[in-house]
């Protein structure tokens, strides 16, 4: 039986970066997710290698990495479906291995692949899961229409689940996750296999959930599209967290390559030879729009290259850095994996 003493309350000192006064000690809540030295092995294969991760309450956390990086394993452990080989994983201060039942009350889990009971009607499906979480029928009667409205399935309440489209099933599964009003949503690829329209609908729902103050941990290949709603990002590869932080920081920190676009007024062949001789130019592409280079330097080196081109007498129409998105960054940093999810 869970005792109050078993719930660990952590006091964290947060330093104010620009304050002359000594930083006040602020007692904050237990983080929603706290992972320490989490390791999982399957035989000789090490799926997770001493992962550390802390996600405060109310945060929307994006979890990215190539296939087989360890995202789903981490999420399965948090969902009490798998036990770690070593290390600890806590949800709302509760160890998932010691208090799985208490943890299950707090989480809504949506796996990357899931099935539905086809012979159920949409509303029956939600009633079943509501009852499985111990929600009384009277309460479910009020709750389920609201959930169906949230996921835009009100008009499908009496439809059999097997008649729903893939996107509708995904949204129904999301409604199922919310049926017991969990504090934490663990969403493993919630938009996988959806068409662009369904993705947009899913994104809108997630935005609403964020506004409700839910803590969300989400792995998704549409993360670049979600960049504006994700507070923090964790990049995992080969079972190791290689970067954690807010989106902008990660983008800057991990930007190992710039894409420069150069347009010239003539002498393109000479410019191509000139650029190929520069040590920081990794790759060069040329088309009717001009020259694109993958540049390995930072701001200072970029400015120096511009000066060199001008000094060499090339007439530049434009010299600009092509916009890179999160996906480019993730592709770059996870290029050792099987691919980007």
Partner 1 sequence: MREQTSVKQSSTSWRNKLINPVLNKEFKLRMRTPKAMWTLFFYLFAIGLMAFSAIYIVEINTGGSRSFNPEQSKVLFYFLSFAQLGLIAFMAPGLTAGVISGEREKQTLNLLLTTQQSSATIVLSKLVSSLGFMVLIVVSTIPVYSMVFLYGGISPKQLILVFLFYLFVMLVLGSFGILFSSMFKRTMVSVIVSYGVTLFIFGGTALIYVVLMSTTDRFYTYNANTYSWIGHVLAWNPAGALYSILDPEFTDQAYRIYGQPIATNKQPLALWKEFMMIYTCLSILALWLGIRSLRPRMKKN
Helices (H), the chain: 71-78, 100-106, 122-132, 137-150, 166-178, 196-211, 223-226, 247-253, 268-276, 299-311, 326-333
Structure tokens at 200: 């947009």
Rounded Cα distance, 330 and 224, in Å:
9
When the beta carbons of 132 and 246 are compared against partner 1, the nearer one is: 132
Q: Least distance to partner 1 from the beta carbon of 68, Å?
A: 19
- Residues counted in the chain: 341
Distance in Å, CB of 191 to partner 1, minimum: 17
Nearer to partner 1, 100 or 297 (CB): 100
Find tokens 């159920």 and name the residue. 120
**Smallest distance from the beta carbon of 226 to partner 1, in angstroms?**
20
Alpha-carbon gap, residue 271 to 194, rounded angstroms: 44
Q: 3 or 101, CB closer to partner 1?
A: 101
Residue 221 to residues 66, 96, 121, 260, Cα–Cα distance (Å)? 9, 27, 30, 25
Query: What is the rounded distance in angstroms from the CA atom of residue 86 to the CA atom of residue 50?
Result: 8
Q: How far is the CB of 142 from partner 1 (least distance, A)?
A: 7
Give whichever of 145 and 245 is closer to partner 1, judged by the CB atom. 145
In the complex, least distance from residue 173 CB atom to partner 1, rounded to whole angstroms = 8
> Which residues form the interface with partner 1 (CB under 8 A)?
41, 79-83, 85, 97, 100-101, 104-105, 107, 109, 111, 113-117, 119-120, 124, 128-129, 131-136, 139, 142-143, 146-147, 150, 173, 176, 180-181, 208, 212
Pick 81 or 159: Cβ nearer partner 1? 81
């Amino acid at each position: 039986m869970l005792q109050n003493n078993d719930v660990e309350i952590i006091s964290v000192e947060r330093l104010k970066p620009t304050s002359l006064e000594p930083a006040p000690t602020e007692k904050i809540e237990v983080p929603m997710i706290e992972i320490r030295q989490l390791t999982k092995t399957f035989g000789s294969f090490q799926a997770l290698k001493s992962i550390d991760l802390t996600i405060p309450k109310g945060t929307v956390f994006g979890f990215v990495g190539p296939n087989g990086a360890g995202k789903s394993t981490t999420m399965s452990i948090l969902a009490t479906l798998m036990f770690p080989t070593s290390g600890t994983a806590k949800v709302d201060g509760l160890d998932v291995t010691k208090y799985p039942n208490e943890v299950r009350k707090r989480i809504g889990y949506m796996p990357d692949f899931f099935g539905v009971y086809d012979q159920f009607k949409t509303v029956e499906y939600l009633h079943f899961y509501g009852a499985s979480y111990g929600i009384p029928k009277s309460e479910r009667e009020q709750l389920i229409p609201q959930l169906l409205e949230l996921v835009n399935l009100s008009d499908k309440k009496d439809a059999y689940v097997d008649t729903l489209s893939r996107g509708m099933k995904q949204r129904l599964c999301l409604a199922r996750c919310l049926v017991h009003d969990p504090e934490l949503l663990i969403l493993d690829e919630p938009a996988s296999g959806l068409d662009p329209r369904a993705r947009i609908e899913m994104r809108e729902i997630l935005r609403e959930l964020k506004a409700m103050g839910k803590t969300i941990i989400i792995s998704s290949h549409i993360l670049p599209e979600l960049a504006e709603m994700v507070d923090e990002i964790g990049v995992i590869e080969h079972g190791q967290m290689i970067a954690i932080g807010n989106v902008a920081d990660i983008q800057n920190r991990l930007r190992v390559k710039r894409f420069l676009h150069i347009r010239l007024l003539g002498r393109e062949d000479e410019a191509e030879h000139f650029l190929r001789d520069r040590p920081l130019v990794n790759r060069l592409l040329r088309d009717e729009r001009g020259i694109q280079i993958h540049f390995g330097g930072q701001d200072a080196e970029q400015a120096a290259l511009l000066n060199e081109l001008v000094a060499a007498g090339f007439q530049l129409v434009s010299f600009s850095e092509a916009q890179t998105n999160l996906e480019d960054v993730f592709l770059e940093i996870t290029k050792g994996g099987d691919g980007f999810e």
